[in-house]
Chains A and B, each alone.
Chain A
Amino acid sequence: MQPILLIVFLPLLAAIIGGLGNRALGNTVVKAITTGALFIACGLSWPIFISFVGGHAEPQVVQVLHWVQSGSLTFDWALRVDTLTAIMLVVVTTVSALVHLYSWGYMAEDPDQPRFFAYLSLFTFAMLMLVTADNLVQMFFGWEGVGLASYLLIGFWFRKPSASAAAIKAFVVNRVGDLGFMLGIFGTFLVFNTVSIPEILVRAPGMAGSTIGFLGMQWDTMTILCILLFIGAMGKSAQLGLHTWLPDAMEGPTPVSALIHAATMVTAGVFMVCRLSPMFETSPVAMGVVTAVGAATLFFAATIGTTQWDIKRVIAYSTCSQLGYMFVAAGVGAPGAAMFHLFTHAFFKALLFLGAGSVIHAMHHEQDMRFYGGLRKHIPLTFWAMTMGTLAITGVGIVGLFGFAGFYSKDAILEAAFGAHTSIGMFGFWMGLLAALLTSFYSWRLVFLTFFGKPRWDQSEHIQHAVHDDHHGHDHHAHSDDGTAGYHPHESPINMLIPLAVLSFGAVFAGIAFHHQFISEGSGHFWLGSVAFGEELIHHMHEVPTWVKWAPFAVMLTGLAIAWYGYIRNPGFPAKLVAAIKPIHTFVYNKWFFDELYDRIFVRPAFWLGDKFWKLGDIGLIDRFGPNGSAWAVLQGSRVAAKLQTGFLYSYALVMLLGLTAAISWVLVH
């Protein structure tokens, strides 16, 4: 049996067994089955990846089953394994396995654990189907499958109204993107008469320069197809305009945020653009759009990240921003750099989220950083893990010596944007540089607010509840003056700490270990044509001026310095600054008012229109002048006839019969 079949279908099997077995099997059995399946999948994935890194593997496609065959539109269930897939396989299975393990501890007190683990495994299966897709429709299957799992997991605590609302929002906003994706698939089929990805990629260059009609206008064929598909990617990867679901998705349990809304699902859009990069290459306009959207998002999300108080929301906006970096890379023709950042980001962002989960666990579900402080001494292992993650995301490193994971991948993106020598590329570069400063600021702000300074827990309702519950009926000194309210945070259990340790290892070494394969000259031997990553651009990346190489380092230090000044040296400063720029802060703090805007122009009008169409259209117009009107007319005209009938049923049957007899006799006479 092909290992890829086990990798993909074991999680599905585990999800089915766990989901249907549920309480009959019990917590431990379901947890063991799902987690075991994921560790096996992970164990089988790494050798595949290593063989591609070593350069002695061939891309292959494993057929599973016919799916649809309708005229010339045919597509099958098939699993494609090439370099691009291999990268995603290790990312998905590794983070998923670790998140499964972590959830043993994090979800230990939840009454619904089997359901949670089944959903996690189901998600992993769908994600694996997405990354192994050989045709656009199977990619769409995985795409929607992860959407379903995301919906179920965001709404996992379904009793909370905010959780189920966030779940719907995630699904529906993603569907807006899917509208683009679906139209893109239809258009691709119309143009190429196939939905097979390899065939499309081979034939795409031949279509360059052709035009096609869409919504009444003539477009450059490849431009419109790529833009439609990219709209799908924007939805899934939460890019500007379709990003509103991601922060709300933090309603889900934190392990979910780490797996789905940081490391894997949200990167599906980036994966799609990279997978189709030879197609996007044929349209400079579409590439420009990808870069511009990525650049706008990375800046926009980073600004919001600097103002939020909820620890998970800060990381969520950070994710949104980092995804923007990946799109910039893909848009300037460096999908290798995009995938590299995707790869390293998976480790350090999952680490940050799981670390945040560990903090939340220790702080009795308090998520507001205003009520943290001084946690360094209480949960030192979590502190160190979060620090590793922060060093990685801010891109700490010395050129030519050593750097944390993000140092290699983020700098590669900035160099690629600069080295592309296009105006849109320069836009991406400057936005990226600016956002790198913001990234450094909000990341260190998070660390300083959480782990440094004095405890500020006594203001937290969650902590007060915890203290109250613990000491109920006992004699104690709850009103201590040290800001702790008498609460003692505990370090997380070992099954939560192991994933943190493994991911910390990845956050430290993933960059230096693999940068040679992903983004160096000669990386063509690694990619084997699975992405369109020109040697020329790689060359340009390495030729950028020295100041470009050092600029990220400089802005990183600047961001760190500002955060240090504002949250350690002079803690009164941020409040003063906010007061000084009140309107700007309000705008940014309220997330640029996107939610309010969408509510006004989409949500409320939809309900208003529905109501009007129903009460005025269906009832007021159609029914009034249709059936009710004619009933009235008939009644006026035939009061006598109506009286003759004993009941409505019989009159109908009689009319039917008479009508039929009359009709048939009429035919016979002719």
Chain B
Amino acid sequence: MTDLPILSLMLLVPLVAGIVCLVVSSQTARTVALAATLIDFALGIVLWMKFDVGGAQWQFQESHALFAGFAWKLGIDGIALTLIMLSVFLMPICILASQSIEKRVGEYMAAFLLMEVLMIGVFAAQDLYLFYIFFEAGLIPMYLIIGIWGGAERIYASYKFFLYTLLGSIVMLIAMIWMAQQAGTTDIPTLMQYDFPVDAQKLLWLAFFASFAVKMPMWPVHTWLPDAHVQAPTAGSVILAGVLLKMGGYGFIRFSLPMFPEASAHYAWLIFWLSMIAVVVTSLIALVQHDMKKLIAYSSVAHMAIVTIGLFSFNVQGLEGSMVVMLSHGLVSGALFLCVGVIYDRLHTREIDRYGGLAINMPKYALLFMLFTMASIGLPGTSGFVGEFLSLSGIYQVSSWVAFIATTGIILGAAYMLYLYRRVVFGEQKNADAAAMPDLSVREWLMLGPIAAAVLWMGVYPESFLAPMRNDIAALDARLARAKPESDAKLTMGAPKPHEETAHEGGAH
């Protein structure tokens, strides 16, 4: 493709900047971090512009053998491209959102920059072990961000976060080692074409599932998420919801589905059941929350269930829909956490009842919060709709029951989000301190404005995001074709009724 190793460069810039942040003053660290993330975003745009839509499946490949078959192998397809774009887009916003951090700023910025390195690494890695390292190491900075800069119960939250995610990762590593032995390669594109014996697939699938289900998170291994979100600083929540949760979905689409198609079909109903339960149960739980962040965290679990349902529907609409839900949720839940952060910075409480009537003193905030609320609900014209609609239409082709249960999420989602919005933004100003809060500052506009634009763009013209991944999804769909589950629709043609048809013809003309 190109001589410039752009992916390595995107990893290098934040890494170097992160090291610099450790040694310079607080104010400089902020500037360095912002500059580095902006450079990475610019590099991301170059990546996107140069990406040859409809060209080779794997682009921007780099490969350097290191030792004993372990290689520095990077490369992306359209799926990875969109997720990398999401990461580099959110990072500068996170740095801007960290204005209220005053403790150990240099280390904080370094942790975030390291996070960026690892996130890009996960999506760009083409070597199994390289992927594993990025995937698991990503926990460390997040763990630090929650544990050091988090709220009052940060230790418990970070501990829970660690316990859950570590649990899954160990079995995944063992599975990876076995796969490398069996297939004789750690090259991910090769493994995606490799046919493992069906019995082995089932075990491997479960091992990967253990890790991805936690990352997703799927019910019932989701309980780390509300605590982690509640305790994490705003920017931490944004990255957690925006990108880290996408690693589970990415794992399914990159590993579980192409590498173990038969096992994926075999366990599809496990996924469906867990996802259906998640949609209903976590939505209902979101309805009764008093803590804004917890509410949005629970809503994330429900939205991620739509992703898993779409992925395991084994068709183009489901797969593409899931990808769009992931991108959209990355933007929207990130923005919602920022919205919480904006008022948290002013009042230092996440308690919903302490607010109210914000439409009066913060009309601009009310407008943006409304937009993101609607995007979360999946209003057509926003990014939320496109993904949800495609995902659900995908699963309908497999099972009307699953589609029916999952689609009840649009009712429950509207209920808990509008109930939240009502309590925070509508009503009388019952608390004097909340009534005195100023509207959005320029910095806050710079954080929320770009996300709002992206949400509308993805809602009105999603082609920009669907086009790069179209061939990759089609290839995956072709690979999955042999294990495609049977549809419960069973469309059976009946005897035509000619007299009715003619009657209709008479009516229509």
Question: Which of chain B's residues 472-509 have a Cβ closer than 8 Å to chain A?
Answer: 474, 477, 487-497, 500-501, 503-504, 506-509
- Whether A215 contacts B400 by the Cβ 8 Å rule is yes
* A172 touches which of B180, B418, B509 (Cβ 8 Å): B418
**How near does chain B come to A309, taking the closest CB pair, in angstroms?**
27
The reply on B85 being an interface residue by CB < 8 A is no
Q: Which of B378-392 contact A (CB under 8 A)?
A: 379-381, 385-386, 389-390, 392
Known: A171-B414, A607-B288. A660 touches B389 (CB 8 A): no
Determine whether the beta carbon of A148 is less than 8 Å from that of B507: no
Of A183, A533, A617, A619, the residue contacting B404 (CB under 8 A) is A183
Chain B residues within 8 Å of A175, by CB: 410-411, 414
B22 within 8 A of A: no
- Interface size class of chain B, counting residues whose CB lies under 8 Å from the partner chain: 35 or more
- Residues B494 and A210 in contact, CB atoms below 8 Å apart: yes
A281 touches B315 (CB 8 A): no
A663 touches B496 (CB 8 A): no
Is there contact, CB below 8 Å, between B461 and A190?
A: no
Q: Most chain-B Cβ atoms within 10 A of its Cβ — which of A171, A211, A614? A: A614
Q: Which of A137, A609, A622, A656 contacts B380 (CB 8 A)?
A: A137
- Name the residue on A nearest B393 (C-beta): A186
What is the CB-to-nearest-CB distance from B492 to chain A, in angstroms, rounded to a whole number? 5
Interface residue? A182 (CB, 8 A): yes
Contact A631:B159 (CB < 8 A) given known A210-B491, A611-B288, A622-B220: yes
Q: Say if the beta carbon of B440 comes within 8 Å of chain A.
A: no
0/1 per residue, B281-324, Cβ < 8 Å to A?
10011111100000000000000000000000001110011000
CB of B463 within 8 Å of the partner chain: yes
B160: chain A residues within 8 A (beta carbon): 627
Which of the 9-residue segments B6-14, B262-270, B420-428 touches chain A? B420-428
B403→A186 contact, CB < 8 A: yes
Closest to B224 in A: A627
Instruction: Note all chain A residues with C-beta closer than 8 A to B461.
Output: 65-67
Q: Assess whether B173 is interfacial by the CB under 8 Å rule.
A: yes
A268 CB, min distance to chain B CBs, angstroms: 14
Whether the Cβ atoms of A159 and B357 lie closer than 8 Å is: yes
- Residue on B with the closest CB to A151? B418
Binds B, one of A568-576, A581-589, A647-655: A647-655
In the assembled complex, how far is the CB of residue A168 from the closest CB belonging to chain B, in whole angstroms? 5
Decide: A209 near B495, CB < 8 A? Known: A159-B428, A183-B400.
Answer: yes
Pairwise interchain contact B381-A145, C-beta atoms closer than 8 A: yes
Choose the segment among A68-76, A81-89, A394-402, A504-512 that binds chain B (4+ C-beta atoms closer than 8 Å): A68-76
B220, B414, B488: residue with the most chain A Cβ atoms closer than 10 Å: B414
Interface bits B86-125 vs A (CB < 8 Å: 1, else 0): 0000000000000000000000000000000000000000
Q: Is the CB of A158 within 8 A of B287?
A: no
A72 to B477, CA, bound (A): 13
Is A422 located at the chain interface by the 8 A CB criterion? no
Bound CA span A192–B214, Å: 38
A-binding segment of B49-57, B129-137, B193-201: B129-137
In the assembled complex, A475 has its CB within 8 A of some CB on chain B: no
Q: A668 interface residue, CB < 8 Å from B?
A: yes
Judge whether B284 and A613 touch: CB under 8 Å.
Answer: yes
Q: Of the candidates A172, A186, A282, which one forms a contact with B414 in the assembled complex, judged by CB atoms under 8 Å apart?
A: A172
A366 at the interface (CB under 8 A from B): no
Q: For the complex, give the distance between the alpha carbons of A69 and B474 in Å.
A: 13
CB distance from A64 to the nearest CB of B (A): 10
B446 proximal to A (CB < 8 A): no
Q: Are B223 and A626 in contact (CB under 8 A)?
A: yes
Name A667's contact: one of B158, B177, B320, B385 (CB within 8 Å).
B177
* B410 with A182: CB separation less than 8 A: yes
Contact B426 A179 (CB under 8 A): no
In Å, the complex CA distance between A278 and B363 comes to 47
A660 to B139, alpha carbons, bound, how many Å? 14
What separation, in Å, do the CA atoms of A617 and B133 have in the docked complex? 34
CA of A182 to CA of B396 in the docked complex: distance in angstroms?
10
Q: How far is the CA of A191 from the CA of B316 in the complex (A)?
A: 16
Q: Decide yes or no: A208 and B497 within 8 Å by CB, A65-B461, A164-B427, A535-B507 being known contacts.
A: yes
Does A206 make an interface contact (CB < 8 A)? yes
B273 at interface by CB-CB < 8 Å: no
- Check if A618 is an interface residue, CB within 8 A of chain B: yes
CA of A663 to CA of B144, assembled, Å: 24
Is B374 among interface residues, defined by CB-CB distance under 8 A?
yes
Does A158 contact B427, Cβ atoms closer than 8 Å? Answer: yes
Check B401 against A73 for contact (C-beta < 8 Å). no
B397 interface hit (Cβ, 8 Å)? yes
A278–B508 CB distance below 8 A: yes
Q: Which chain A residues in 162-201 approach chain B with CB under 8 Å? A: 164-165, 167-168, 171-172, 175-176, 178-179, 182-183, 185-187, 189-191
* Interface contact B410-A535, CB-CB below 8 Å: no
Inter-chain CA distance A631–B161, complex, in Å, is 12
A151–B359 CA distance with the chains assembled, in angstroms: 15
Judged by a CB distance under 8 angstroms, whether B147 is at the interface is yes
Nearest residue (CB) in A for B68 is: A668
Pick the contact of A652 from B162, B284, B401 — CB < 8 Å? B162
Per the bound structure, the CA–CA distance linking A659 and B129 in Å amounts to 13
Q: Which residues of B contact A524 (CB under 8 A)?
A: 509
A: contact size bracket:
35 or more
B151 at interface (Cβ–Cβ under 8 A)?
A: no
Nearest Cβ in chain B — how far from A114, in angstroms? Answer: 11
Residue A459 is within 8 A (CB to CB) of chain B in the complex: no
Contacts A535-B506, A627-B223 given; does A179 touch B408 at CB 8 Å? yes
A51 within 8 A of B: no
Does A211 contact B223, Cβ atoms closer than 8 Å?
no
A273 to chain B, nearest CB (A): 15
Complex interface bits, B318-357 against A, C-beta within 8 A gives 1, otherwise 0: 0011000000000000000000000000000000000001
Neighbouring A residues of B166 by C-beta, 8 Å = 655
Give Cα A190–Cα B477 distance, bound, in whole angstroms.
17
A221 at the interface (CB under 8 A from B): yes
Q: Does A610 contact B (CB under 8 A)?
A: yes
- Contact check, A618 vs B508: say whether CB atoms are below 8 A apart: no
Q: Please state if A614 and B288 are interface contacts (CB–CB under 8 Å).
A: yes
CB <8 Å contact, A68 and B466: yes
Are B223 and A179 in touch, CB under 8 angstroms? no
Q: Which residues of chain B come closer than 8 Å to A66, judged between CB atoms?
A: 461, 463
Q: Is B362 an interface residue (CB 8 A)?
A: no
* Cβ-defined partner of B426 (8 Å) among A155, A213, A670: A155
- Contact (A660, B508) CB under 8 Å given A66-B463, A211-B492, A212-B489: no
Q: Does B16 contact A (CB under 8 A)?
A: no
Complex: chain B residue closest to A139, CB-CB: B380
Known: A213-B490, A535-B506. A660 touches B403 (CB 8 A): no
Judge whether B410 and A70 touch: CB under 8 Å.
Answer: no
- Is A206 a contact partner of B496 (Cβ separation < 8 A)? yes
Specify which of A70, A182, A187 is in contact with B317 (CB 8 Å cutoff).
A70
Question: Is A536 interfacial (CB-CB < 8 Å)?
Answer: yes
A532 touches B320 (CB 8 A): no
Given the known A-B contacts A71-B320, A183-B404, A211-B492, are A617 and B281 also in contact in the complex, defined by CB atoms under 8 Å? yes
Q: Mark A587-613, 1 if CB is under 8 A from B, else 0.
A: 000000000000000000011011101
Known pairs A65-B461, A649-B147, A664-B70 / 7 extra A-B pairs, C-beta < 8 Å: A69-B466, A168-B422, A186-B393, A209-B494, A610-B288, A656-B137, A668-B68
12 A-B interface contacts by CB (under 8 A): A68-B462, A68-B466, A73-B317, A73-B390, A183-B396, A183-B407, A190-B489, A214-B489, A627-B164, A627-B224, A631-B159, A656-B140
B residues adjacent to A (C-beta < 8 A)? 68, 70, 129, 133, 136-137, 139-140, 143-144, 147-148, 155, 158-160, 162-164, 166, 170, 173, 177, 180-181, 220-221, 223-224, 226, 281, 284-289, 315-317, 320-321, 357, 359-360, 363, 367, 374, 379-381, 385-386, 389-390, 392-393, 396-397, 400-401, 403-404, 407-408, 410-412, 414-415, 418-419, 422, 425-428, 460-463, 466, 474, 477, 487-497, 500-501, 503-504, 506-509
Give the 8 A-B CB pairs with smallest separation, nearest first. A209-B494, A71-B316, A534-B507, A610-B284, A186-B396, A141-B380, A610-B288, A158-B426
